[in-house]
Amino acid sequence: MFLKRKSIVLLAGGLMLACVGLIGCKRKGSAIVSCTHIEKLETGLGLLNIPDVLVGNVIEIVPSTKKGSHKASIKLDSGDISVTAGNAVTDISHNSGLTITFSANIPGTATAALNSTLSDSMQLQLANSKRHQIDNPEPVLNRPDNLRLINGIFQNSLTGHRYLLVFGGNSADSVNFALKGGTTNRLTTTIPSVGSFELDVNYQCQGDLTTKAAAITASAANAAGNGKDLPTFFKVVEIIKNADGSISVTTFDGDIADYDLSSAVM
């Protein structure tokens, strides 16, 4: 009987760098996920609500400077905003201000592929998630009071300025990073022509996210006391003034995460 050839290359300290011909061999290491810009954390449910915008706020954006600021708030009647059970998990956008670094024993030939795999494998888990949404924004915007407000905004608008309506979002008691379909923070994957890897993932920015989400939740409680909806993650649509003077909405063709919204709070 012939034994299968085994070859193991070790670094100082005994870390495994490469396995050749060894069945079941995985290169073990770690990955650190850090938040370089927590305010750009964007998900399938919307952008993290660092500016504390409310459902019904109108945000003025300037594409040339990538600045956004609060412009107005539309009048909402009872029943305009529906609140329903929300998603317990959501994907994270790749344009989310996250930085991934790997331990030194992970070869450079694998880092780009591992970065992509880990980015695709991360998600956020939301506790007690609720969806807050203006289900039919156009009829609401075309009511007399709101129509006068929006038409006045457009009449005094500067060239190139655009207007977004915060029409919905998701609230949550807490938000946590996790791997899809996993119960641990260990990612196992295989990169073709490179090898198999087992990575312990450390979400270094979980503390920052927890702090920010808790602050948003506190602001939401205050807003709710005044009959307002302040979601943890928010979504926008673009407001359009039609030739006949009516108002419609359309999908915003930009990325709200690209804008500095520090002045968007009311």
pLDDT at 266: 60
Of 164, 156, 147, 137, the closest CA to residue 63 belongs to: 164
Residue 71 lies in a domain: yes
pTM of the model: 0.87
Residue 232 in domain: yes
Residue 154 lies in a domain: yes
Number of domains in the chain: 1
Q: Which domain holds residue 104?
A: 30-263
What pLDDT shows up at residue 43?
Answer: 95
Residue 18 covered by a domain: no
Look at residue 197 in the predicted model and tell me its pLDDT. 95
pLDDT tens sequence across 224-247: 999 999 999 999 999 999 999 999
In a domain? residue 49: yes
Residue 7 lies in a domain: no
- In contact, 59 and 65? CB cutoff 8 Å: no
- Tell me which residue of 71, 1, 69, 31 sits closest to 177, measured CA to CA: 31
- Which helix H or strand E contains 217, and what residues bound it? helix 206-225
Residue ranges of the alpha helices (H) in 44-93?
Answer: none
Which of 185, 181, 158, 165 has its CA nearest to residue 240? 165
In the predicted model, is pLDDT for residue 13 greater than 50? no
Q: How many CA atoms lie within 13 A of 56 on its CB side?
A: 18
Residue pair 121/177 in contact by the 8 Å Cβ criterion: no
Given the DSSP bridges, would you call strands 233-241 and 162-171 parallel, antiparallel or unpaired?
A: antiparallel
Q: What pLDDT is attached to residue 3?
A: 38
In a domain, 12, yes or no: no
pLDDT tens digit string along 15-60?
344 454 444 578 999 999 998 889 999 999 999 999 999 999 999 9
Tell me what pLDDT residue 121 has.
Answer: 95
Residue 208 tokens, joined? 């920052």
The 10s digit of each residue's pLDDT in 141-176 is 999 999 999 999 999 999 999 999 999 999 999 999
Give a yes or no: residue 13 inside a domain.
no
77: which 2 tokens?
């009647």
Cα 111 to Cα 62: distance, rounded to the nearest angstrom: 36
Q: Which of 120, 90, 88, 114 is nearest to 101 (CA)?
A: 114
pLDDT digits (tens, 9 = 90+) for 85-121: 999 999 999 778 899 999 999 999 999 999 999 999 9
Distance CA 171, CA 97 (A): 21
Give the pairing type, strands 46-48 and 233-241. Answer: antiparallel
Both tokens of residue 99? Answer: 């930085």
Measured CA to CA, the distance from residue 204 to residue 30 in angstroms comes to 12
